[in-house]
Amino acid sequence: MKTFIPFLKPCVFLMAVIVATTIGATASAQTNRMRVGVYDSRAVAVAWGNSTEFKEALKPIETEFRKAKESKDEKRAKELDGQMKLQQRRAHEQAFSTGSVAPIMERIKDRLPDIAKQAGVQIIVSKWELNHQSSEVEVVDVTEKLVALFHVSERGLKWSKEVQQKPPLAIEQLSQYTD
């Protein structure tokens, strides 16, 4: 038995080193995981659609449409009406389906680095565009932080949360709700 004990001490020491190394490597791997910020593009679209900036962005075309109607320029009024219907269609694709919100995100791109830093993420992407992720990637939802950038009313905030509770409609389904 006495000959076994001296052999046991190096084995215990070696096991302790292996365990410590494994724990250190695991902790290091966890802290080196890529963190991706994702958002529900529908919530962003609803927030944008309920923002003061959105209402201001609509004024020029609405004014031009009204003037065309008042001056009885039916050709121009019809052209503008078509543009407004196209914008409405796009807004429905963004708010109720998975239509791209790239033009909306372009308006806040200068504030995205701060959101990324706050959330500790390296990338921000629509959750509908994240087609695959490995186990080494940690996904962080930044939807609320993005919605907050639009300074929407309580009603707009409520709608942006509600839209996230339902699955998006297929774009092909939208016409039965919007046309």
**What residues of the chain score a pLDDT lower than 50?**
4, 7-17, 19-29
The rounded distance, in Å, linking the Cα atoms of 117 and 177 is 39
pLDDT the model gives residue 130: 86
Eight-class DSSP state of 145 = H
- Locus of tokens 């996904």: 139
Q: CB neighbours (10 Å) of residue 154?
A: 7
Domain coordinates in residue numbering, the chain = 36-178
